[in-house]
Structure 1
Amino acid sequence: MLKKERHDYIMRQINLHNRVLTSDLVQLLTVSEDTIRRDLQELCDNKQLNKVHGGALSKSYQSTFDDSQVYARDAKINIAKKAISLIKEGMVILIGGGTTIIELVKQFPENIHATFFTISPFVAIELAKYPRAEVILIGGLFSKNSQVAYGANAINQLAEINADLCLLGTSAIHPKEGLTDTDWEINHLKKTMLNSSRRSAILCISEKMNITLRLKVAPLQNIDYLITELPATDAKLDDYRIKNLQIL
């Protein structure tokens, strides 16, 4: 594979999943670790990504959340507008992190009234702009890659919550394999959030559909709503039309 092809592949993975791991790229591209490190360094030097220990992060995956850097922002705004319809007055909501969730929070109506528990300090900062929203930040170890709190302390706090709704982004979704990811700790975090909520919604751009990663989070049967930027009647969603899963 030529260098440009590797770089294009790396950037697609970054855009879809917000982060990449060097070890995964070595296996997927069947090249040496040194080659991947050089590729990531070149892309970093060209200001296309942020290189971190063990991999790289999207340029949009940072505390400033510059809107111009958010991949597929229009699609994520479309998703956000659909997701807002699920939020009712006075709800208790568990909400994850990531650029799709950030775009959701930015689209909230100014008078939104709900209690939000979040694992993301950046989501908490955005939520704090709404005067009628109560914001509770879950604490724990901080993942530099996923930029959320994780670990036993975070999971114990989440397990004590009985939320009305859980709003999560995802790295990948597949009609047979369900939700999958690459990070063991984040997987356990997401599982706990889903188990601590009466209903759950997955917010996902359509490019993440029909993808399977190595760690299972949850089957589709455990999800109540799937929200993409596509019209709910789009044929691309047909394989996801199962009992008890509502597509918005």
Structure 2
Amino acid sequence: MLKKERHDFIMRQINLHNRVLTSDLVQLLNVSEDTIRRDLQELVDMGLLFKVHGGALSKSYHSSFDDSTVYARDSKIIIAKKATNLIKDGMVVLTGGGTTILEFVKQLPESIQATFFTISPLVAVELAKYNNIEVILIGGLFSKNSQITYGGHVITQLSEIKADLCLMGTSAIHPEEGLTDTDWEINQLKKAMLAASKKSAVLCISEKLDIALRLKVCAIESISYLVTELDATDEALSGYTIKSLNIL
């Protein structure tokens, strides 16, 4: 595989999952670890990503203020506008982090009255712009990679909440494998968030459909709403049409 093809592959993985592991890229591309490290460094030098220990991160994952680097932003705006219809006055809402959730917050009606718990400082900053929203940032260890709080203290706080709705993004979703990820700590956090909520909504671009990663978060049946940029009747969503899942 040519260098440009490797670079394109790496950037697609970064854009879809916000982060990649060097060890995964070695296996997926069938090249040496040194080759992947050089590729990542070259992409860093081009200003396309952040290199961290063990892998790399998307640039768009680290700022709520620079929309120009957000991958598939037009699709995420469509998703965000759909998801805002789930929010009613007086609700208690729990959110994760990531660019799709940030876009959702930016699309909320100015007059909405609700209480939002979040594990994302960036999301909390955006929510604080609304006069009638009470914002509660759940504190704990801070992940420099994912830009969210995590760990036992966060999970303990989540166990004391019963939100009306949990909103989260995902790295991958599959009809049989459900929600999956590659980070153990993030998986445990997402499980705790789902347990702390009466209903849940997963917001994801269609490019993340039909993908399964190593660690399972939950089955499809555990999700209340799946929100993509596609029409609910799109053929790509046919495998997700089950009794317990509402597709928006």
* Common fold: TM-score over 0.5: yes
Identity in percent: 75
Cα deviation for residue 99 of structure 1 reads 0.3
Residue of structure 2 equivalent to 1:94: 94
Cα deviation for residue 65 of structure 1 reads 3.8
Residue of structure 2 equivalent to 1:148: 148
Where does 1:196-207 land on structure 2 (aligned, <5 Å)? 196-207=196-207
Residue of structure 1 equivalent to 2:230: 230
User: 2:67 matched to 1:67?
Assistant: yes
Question: Counterparts of 1:64 and 1:221 in 2: how far apart (Å)?
Answer: 32
The superposition leaves residues 191-229 of structure 1 with CA deviations (integer Å, 9 ceiling, x where unpaired) of: 000011000000010000000000000100000000000
Residue of structure 2 equivalent to 1:188: 188
Question: Counterparts of 2:24 and 2:157 in 1: how far apart (Å)?
Answer: 31
Question: Counterparts of 2:54 and 2:142 in 1: how far apart (Å)?
Answer: 16
Residue of structure 2 equivalent to 1:130: 130
Residue of structure 2 equivalent to 1:176: 176
Count matched residues: 248
Cα deviation for residue 25 of structure 1 reads 1.0
Q: Is the CA contact (8 Å cut-off) linking 2:173 and 2:180 kept in structure 1? A: yes
Where does 1:105-124 land on structure 2 (aligned, <5 Å)? 105-124=105-124
Question: Counterparts of 1:92 and 1:195 in 2: how far apart (Å)?
Answer: 14
The superposition leaves residues 74-99 of structure 1 with CA deviations (integer Å, 9 ceiling, x where unpaired) of: 10000001001110111011100000
Cα deviation for residue 64 of structure 1 reads 4.6
Q: Is the CA contact (8 Å cut-off) linking 2:64 and 2:102 kept in structure 1? A: no
Q: Structure 2 unaligned segments of length 5 or more: list them.
A: none
Question: Counterparts of 1:150 and 1:27 in 2: how far apart (Å)?
Answer: 28
Q: CA RMSD in A?
A: 0.8
The superposition leaves residues 145-172 of structure 1 with CA deviations (integer Å, 9 ceiling, x where unpaired) of: 1111011011111111000000000000
TM value normalised by structure 2: 0.98
Cα deviation for residue 63 of structure 1 reads 2.8
Q: Structure 1 unaligned segments of length 5 or more: list them.
A: none
SS of the counterpart of 1:61? helix
Question: Counterparts of 1:33 and 1:137 in 2: how far apart (Å)?
Answer: 38
Question: Counterparts of 1:65 and 1:213 in 2: how far apart (Å)?
Answer: 30
Question: Counterparts of 2:64 and 2:110 in 1: how far apart (Å)?
Answer: 21
TM value normalised by structure 1: 0.98
